[in-house]
Chain A
Amino acid sequence: MSIHDLLKQYIEEGRIKLDKSIHHELTTYHDPCNYGRKGERAFGHGYYEEPRWVTQQCCENYVEMYPNRANNFCCGAGGGAWAAPYVEERIFYGRVKAKQIKDTGAKLLIAPCHNCRDQIMKSLRKEYDFMDVEVKYLWELVADSLVMEPREEAEEE
């Protein structure tokens, strides 16, 4: 099961409650290659809409990068490049992603992939000067938006 389906299900079924007022800044979403294009090719379904929907359950102000979905640009660290020694090439690759992000004017970027998040948060922000943009995993955004309700004690008694 995909994390996107799971998060969507929790929200739709009311199993978790989210507070939209916590993340009020303009927010954008990065399509990881693996959940999008490659998922579409390998499994017949690209996860484009589900994570956008989840993001927008947490954030009121949302903006798209261009291009996006199946035509989105890779962060530059996929395919093992984050762990490979070609640092200069990886940063060069990421210039396109950095420009896409900066062009949106968003102050919060959501990435549901470890590689993409690390490349953008730990490398591109510094190299291309957009440290003012915060980067979160999709599940981090959801966890930070949670309204925790006290557990019913009945089952413990």
Chain B
Amino acid sequence: MEPLLLTKREKRKLASQYADLCLTCGTCAGGCPVTGVDGLDVRKAVRLALLGMDQELIDSKFPWVCTLCGRCEYACPMNIDLLALLRSARGMRARDKVPGVLHKGVEMCLKTGNNVGIPKDDFVFLLQDLGAELAEELPGFEVPVDKKGAKYLFTINSKEPFAEPEDMMYWWRILYAANESWTTTSENWEGVNWGLFTGDDAAMKEIVGRIVKNYKELGCEYLVLPE
């Protein structure tokens, strides 16, 4: 490794405006289940940022095996914004270097309105079909879609219509029992926002914006994301 000349280091790119408050106490790393994985830990990540070795952190696996759970940040005696730092390292990866399906999910959501690309017609058919099944047990039940003036707008986790559709019925049973006024939407119903995980603020904002647009257009009172 080349000697690191602090006088020649680049200006920090990572979001770490408070990192220089770090006392190097190691409380963060001490309480973290993935300390040591990939040869790094949270305390070392802060050191990398301070030394201007941003790229090392950005290229490492560590910001991705970290689950951004925030236990370190909660315990940090200097209240350093450790999650912002680690998430910014994720965000600075080239998008084609984002691990696994996360960025593909973001792209799919921007293109189709949900992470797994379920077409509108299929989705509505599924809701109606499952609704009819539940109505055999709960007389009069149906899934309200795009219902104007409903009190609650519910988003849906695409995992459910994709792989575990019957799990949607838990909420439906509760809403039926409470005789609630609610709806979901035929488009942009995705409640999972992977932009949060990939450090992609622009995508995150766009996806949230679409949900808010639905909410306003339908004139709902509350938005519920059962995540």
Binding site for B on A (CB under 8 A): 1-3, 6-7, 10, 15-17, 33-34, 37-38, 41, 70-74, 76-81, 83-86, 89-90, 92-96, 113-114, 118, 137, 139-140, 142-144, 146, 148-149, 151, 156
Give Cα A3–Cα B68 distance, bound, in whole angstroms: 22
Q: B71–A15 contact, CB under 8 A?
A: no
Known: A34-B227, A143-B170. A76 touches B67 (CB 8 A): yes
Pick the residue among A93, A95, A137 that contacts B67 (CB under 8 A): A93
Chain B residues contacting A70 (CB-CB under 8 Å) are 74
16 A-B residue pairings within 8 Å (CB atoms): A33-B68, A33-B70, A37-B70, A37-B71, A38-B83, A73-B33, A79-B64, A79-B197, A83-B100, A89-B61, A113-B227, A118-B159, A142-B170, A146-B177, A148-B138, A151-B179
Give Cα A16–Cα B174 distance, bound, in whole angstroms: 7
Is B22 interfacial (CB-CB < 8 Å)?
no
Is B144 interfacial (CB-CB < 8 Å)?
no
The residue on A at minimum CB distance from B69 is A74
Binding site for A on B (CB under 8 A): 33-34, 37-38, 61, 64-71, 73-75, 83, 99-102, 105, 138-140, 152, 157, 159, 167, 169-171, 173-174, 177-180, 192, 194, 196-198, 222-224, 226-227
Chain B residues contacting A41 (CB-CB under 8 Å) are 70, 73-74
Q: A114–B157 contact, CB under 8 A?
A: yes
The 10 A-B residue pairs whose C-beta atoms are closest, nearest first, are: A80-B197, A74-B69, A78-B67, A79-B68, A143-B170, A33-B69, A79-B67, A15-B178, A1-B222, A89-B65
Q: A85–B178 contact, CB under 8 A?
A: no
The residue on B at minimum CB distance from A9 is B178
Chain B residues contacting A114 (CB-CB under 8 Å) are 157, 159, 192, 227
Give Cα A2–Cα B152 distance, bound, in whole angstroms: 11
Given contacts A81-B64, A139-B226, A151-B139, 8 further A-B contacts (CB under 8 A): A33-B71, A38-B70, A73-B71, A79-B67, A79-B68, A86-B99, A89-B37, A140-B167
Chain B residues contacting A2 (CB-CB under 8 Å) are 224
Q: A85–B100 contact, CB under 8 A?
A: yes
Chain A residues contacting B170 (CB-CB under 8 Å) are 137, 139-140, 142-144
Q: What is the CB-to-nearest-CB distance from A47 to chain B, in angstroms, rounded to a whole number?
A: 12
Known: A139-B226, A156-B140. A15 touches B179 (CB 8 A): yes
